[in-house]
Amino acid sequence: MILRNSLLFLLLIAFAAIIISLFSTNYSEAEQLGIVAKHYAENAKAEVGAPNLVSAVVVTYRGLDTLGEVVILFLTAAIIGFMLKSKHSVNNSDKRIKGSEILETAANALVPIIILFGSYIFINGHLSPGGGFQGGAVIASAFVLLVMAKANAKLSHKIISFTESVSGFSFVIIGVLGIILAAGFLDNTFLPLGKYGSIISAGAIPIIYIFIGLKVGSELTSIVNNLKESQNIEI
């Protein structure tokens, strides 16, 4: 075992030495953008109308990848819910220690503010750093705080899955509207582009990001909620 580990260690060290020498001497950072990135930088204002180029790439230029990514996240959330489902009935006697008073008061004050901040992040996703994924994660962390502070807080599975399915469905519907009214799937120009840099602009990007944010937020919340509810069940 020790022999195997030391052999592996030597192998990894050799690998590291080769790659680090390649990276540190022969590689220097690029002086200018590649062709595709240059196209995006020069034409994004006219084609998409979003100042944040990362949002433009995520939602419009590579929107199909984002759809696939959201589907993968949905699948993982569904598999986790399926695996954590137990045959035993839920043990109702809640043995969890209550959160301290400081934690509960702070949760009461902070949860609405964190949710507001999360929605700010994904509504402004096309103007400033941020977007649906970050906003959804922030909203999910607000629900984590709620679930941790209050021992008997129960999040409704129905509301979570309703939000998730409605926002996912609307995401696809907006993509199909792009085929019908504009150039292709997930094209955002079927709505007017508006004034560059204002909050209602960039066509359908803010709407798509709101739906992505709701979907990611409800999926991550459902993962955490499933894990929390399984704490009292015998594994």
Helix (H, G, I), strand (E, B) or coil at 184: coil
Phi-psi category of residue 156: left, alpha or beta, with phi > 0 → left and psi -120 to 50 → alpha:
beta
Q: How far apart are CA 215 and CA 78, in angstroms?
A: 13
Among 24, 89, 152, 156, binds another protein (CB under 8 A): 24
**Which residues, including other chains, have CB under 8 Å from residue 97's CB and lie 6 or more apart?**
151
Which residues 208-227 are close enough to bind another protein by CB under 8 A? Answer: 216, 220, 223-224, 227
Which residues 38-77 are close enough to bind another protein by CB under 8 A? Answer: 38, 40-42, 44-45, 51-58, 62, 65-66, 69, 72-73, 76-77
Closest approach of another protein to the CB of residue 221, in Å: 10
Closest approach of another protein to the CB of residue 58, in Å: 5
Which residues 78-107 are close enough to bind another protein by CB under 8 A? Answer: 79-80, 83-84
Closest approach of another protein to the CB of residue 223, in Å: 5
Closest approach of another protein to the CB of residue 13, in Å: 8
Comparing CB distances to another protein, the nearer of 100 and 181 is 100
Comparing CB distances to another protein, the nearer of 20 and 159 is 20
Among 3, 28, 88, 102, binds another protein (CB under 8 A): 28
Residue whose pair of structure tokens reads 């899955």 in the numeric block:
161
Among 100, 105, 108, 128, binds another protein (CB under 8 A): 128
Among 130, 178, 203, 206, binds another protein (CB under 8 A): 130
**Which residues, including other chains, have CB under 8 Å from residue 116's CB and lie 6 or more apart?**
none
Helix (H, G, I), strand (E, B) or coil at 1: coil
> Is 115 in contact with 42 (CB distance < 8 Å)?
no
Which residues 132-171 are close enough to bind another protein by CB under 8 A? Answer: 133-134, 137-138, 140-141, 144
Q: How many other CB atoms sit within 10 Å of the CB of residue 122?
A: 26
Geometric angle at alpha carbon 17, from 15 and 18, rounded to 5°: 65
